[in-house]
Every structure is written in C-alpha cells, then in structure tokens.
Amino acid sequence: MVRRFYASTDAFNGEFAQFLEQERGTGADVAKIVADIIADVRKRGGEAVAEYTAKFDGLQLDPSTLKSDNVDLHALAAECPQDLRDAIDFAHDRIAAYHSAQRPNDHKFTDDAGVELGWRWTALESVGVYVPGGRASYPSSVLMNVVPAKIAGVDRIVMVAPAPKGELSPAVAYAALKAGVEEFYPMGGAQAVAALAYGTSNLAPVDKIVGPGNAFVAEAKRQVFGRVGIDTIAGPSEILVIADHTANPDWVAADLLSQAEHDPSSQSILIVVDEAVGDSVEKAVENQLNSLATGERARESWTNNGAIVVAPDLDAAASIANRIAAEHLELCIEDPDALLPLVRHAGAVFLGHHTPEALGDYVTGSNHVLPTSRAARFSSGLGLYDFLKRMSVQRAGPQGFAAIAPAALRLAEAERLPAHARSISIRTNRDADG
C-alpha cells in the first residue's frame, strides 16, 4: 500500500509538509571530496584528470589530450542502428523547432526624458555539456542539452561523458554528432567538471556547464558556480498526475511508473478528487509492477516516495500541485484547460489523456531538463535562455542627461560616493567636447 493523504483533514497541512521535506537521494557529505578533486585538477591539470579517470572509470586517458584511442564518437555512432538514428533525427528536428520559437527579441526605446534604453541578447561563446554514463546514459539528454545551445548560437560546445572501461552508448555518440558536438572528452565526475571550468593545457575552459549527473557532479557544479555558469542542480525525477473519472487507470499507472523506474529516489504522486480513481490506479500500479523489468527500483520508489492524495475538488488539487511544484505535471482530467490557469509551479505540464510525460521526454520538442525537488517554484526548464544573456544598453544625450542627472547626483551624495557624484557633476559644470 502506498501512503495516502486526505487533503480535507486538519492534519493534512503539517503531514504533507513533512512528506515534501523528506530528503531523497544521497545524503553523503561529498563537498570535501569534490573540493579536493577540483583543487587537484586546478593544480595538476590533465595529469590529475587522467588519474581520476583511470581510478573511477577504469579508462586510460592521454593526460595531454584527455582522449582515448578506444573511445571515438564517429566509430561508435557507426554502430547505431538505422531505425534508432531515424528516431533520434525525428526528436532532434522537433527539439530544434520548439527551441527556435524561444528566441527573444532585442529591444530599444526612447523614453519621455529623451533617454535611449534597451537591451541586446547575445549567445554564450562556449558551453560544456555533461552527459552521465551508466544507467542514465541517454541520447535524448544529449539532444536536450546540445540542441538549444546550438540554436542559441553558442560557438563551441564541449561534451564530456564518462566511458567506463571505454564503454559509451552508440546512440549517445550518434545524437552528439547529429546535434553538432565537435569537441568530446571521455571523462566524467567532479574531475570533468573541474577540467571544463578551469581548463587544462589541452582543453580551453568553457563559460557554462549544463547537464545532469550524480551527487559528485552536482556538488562540483555548485562549487565552480561563479567561475562558470551552471544550470539548475538536478535531483531525482518526479511526476505528479491529477486524474479524474475520465482517466484510464492503466494509463495513469503506467505514467506514474515511468518516473518511478528512473531511480529508487524518484517520486510519483497522484492527486484524485474521487478516491475510487485512486483505488483503481493503485491496483493498476501493482499489476504493472509485476511485469516490469525495472520493477524493483520502481517499487522501491513507489513505496518509499510515492503517494496518493485525495483532494476535496480540482481547485484544491491545483493548489496542492503548486505546493509540490513537480518536475512533470499531467492533467489527466476532462477539462485540463480549465485547470491550467490555476497551475503556478511546475516544470512542464501535460494536458489530457494522450500526452504521457514520456512523450515530452523524447519528441514533443519541449525540453526534458526540468527543475526537480520543488525548484519549479523558482526556476525554469532548460531552454534557449540558458545559452543567451541580456546586455542592457543606454544612452543619454545632453538633453536626456540634463533631465535625469539631478536625481542621480542627489543619490550619489546620499550614498557617500563622491566619485560617482563627480562623474555626474563634471558633465554639468562646464561645456566640453561631447
């Protein structure tokens, strides 16, 4: 039996808050280990990276190039079967189309005071994309991270991925080349993040590092933040489904399990108004778990972190959804459009019965790199914006200057910044060539 909450009860608020606070994922103190690795890479460069890679991944890199003859993207990509290439191409084109629509416009206007104002968007020059190895080595993640960078106009996209004992997924290699990766190093962990942030003799440092990774990678990104930009720190996957009597319980169960199967620390939550719907879905989950190859970790996730919440009505369901601020939110209800305006916090929203979250993982075109662990309260999924930045532009001619300078002067004086004040007053006190 999965845990069940009743939103109309007095105890709900407190109990549910405690449930949401529950830490998932590793609690190990990795900060010190990561700090040491970063310091070592800063000091010894490629030598240190090669040593850690040999130790953690069992792969011998050339310390001066950070390459291995045994891991070649082109050779690997050649092993990717044609039907899988077709699916990757299909996903690639849809992701490219969606993100192309995100390009923001530059803006310029002259206000009443005669001051010219605006901003310009420009692309980052270089980005490092971290692609996890092992269980979570996904061609779809390569596309989701690389394609928006490419569309934004990033000049140099560097991909790193650990290749334990030289193993790397051919589909990952194909997706990387399809998306336009031209620089690749088979390395991972904190050492790869450090090499991307600080550079080595061979690898020029990048400006921003994106992509998910394990606890060591996440901590390394946190520690190099400021030196380089980073995307949101990724936690375990989550799905929240709001379902009513029009939902098919088997479909909802499949969707809940599609996130539960990622990792035992993943979280699947169902909100229903009609408790009978919850009963049916719970039964369907049990049935499906028995025939699922990933059933063991899905069951662990569902049992430890899953929940069914019975809400008094759909408005209350939306309000609970906002508290959860889930990475993925499915509205498997009769009229999702009526509920959508009440949804304030979620990474991505899936409307109606034919939009399972897995569709968004691959082919709707929207990005599957989304805020987890309630971060949708304050951050967005990956997008074109992550690879652009906005530069403000302003010009006061003599007239505009005269209109706004007095207030600036008064504030500079109040803030006891005499050189600020002088840079204003020196332009008002006399006529000069300007």
424 belongs to the binding site for a copy of itself (CB under 8 A): yes
- Residue 57 Cβ vs a copy of itself, minimum distance, rounded to whole Å: 20
- Catalytic residue selected from 219, 238, 282, 327: 327
Three-state SS string over 222-277 comes to HHHECCEEECCCCCCCEEEEEECCCCCHHHHHHHHHHHHCCCCCCEEEEEECCHHH
Whole-number Å distance between alpha carbons of 84 and 269: 32
393 belongs to the binding site for a copy of itself (CB under 8 A): yes
Q: What residues are designated binding site?
A: 130, 191, 214, 237, 259, 262, 328, 361, 415, 420
| Chosen residue from 24, 150, 178, 262 binding a copy of itself by CB under 8 A | 262
- Residue 75 Cβ vs a copy of itself, minimum distance, rounded to whole Å: 19
Contact (CB, 8 A) for 190 and 216: yes
Contact (CB, 8 A) for 278 and 4: yes
Whole-number Å distance between alpha carbons of 272 and 171: 39
250 belongs to the binding site for a copy of itself (CB under 8 A): yes
- Report the residue number, 308 or 375, with the smaller CB distance to a copy of itself: 375
- Catalytic residue selected from 219, 238, 261, 328: 328
Whole-number Å distance between alpha carbons of 396 and 114: 7
| Chosen residue from 37, 281, 298, 320 binding a copy of itself by CB under 8 A | 298
Whole-number Å distance between alpha carbons of 367 and 347: 10
- Report the residue number, 59 or 325, with the smaller CB distance to a copy of itself: 325
- The CB density around residue 396, as the number of other CB atoms within 10 Å, is 18
434 belongs to the binding site for a copy of itself (CB under 8 A): yes
| Chosen residue from 43, 75, 104, 315 binding a copy of itself by CB under 8 A | 104
Whole-number Å distance between alpha carbons of 378 and 380: 7
362 belongs to the binding site for a copy of itself (CB under 8 A): yes
33 belongs to the binding site for a copy of itself (CB under 8 A): no
Three-state SS string over 147-166 comes to HHHHHHCCCEEEEECCCHHH
Greatest Cα pair distance, the chain, in angstroms, is: 85
Q: Identify whether 328 is a catalytic site residue.
A: yes
Whole-number Å distance between alpha carbons of 94 and 100: 10
The DSSP string of 195-206 is HHHH--SSSPPP
* Contact set for a copy of itself, span 217-246 (CB under 8 A): 218, 222, 225-226, 228-229, 232-233, 235, 246
Q: What residues are designated binding site for Zn(2+)?
A: 259, 262, 361, 420
103 belongs to the binding site for a copy of itself (CB under 8 A): no
* Contact set for a copy of itself, span 54-93 (CB under 8 A): 83-84, 86-88, 90-91
Interaction mask 148-177, a copy of itself, x per CB under 8 A: -----------------------x------
- Residue 60 Cβ vs a copy of itself, minimum distance, rounded to whole Å: 28
Q: Identify whether 74 is a catalytic site residue.
A: no
Residues catalogued as catalytic: 327-328
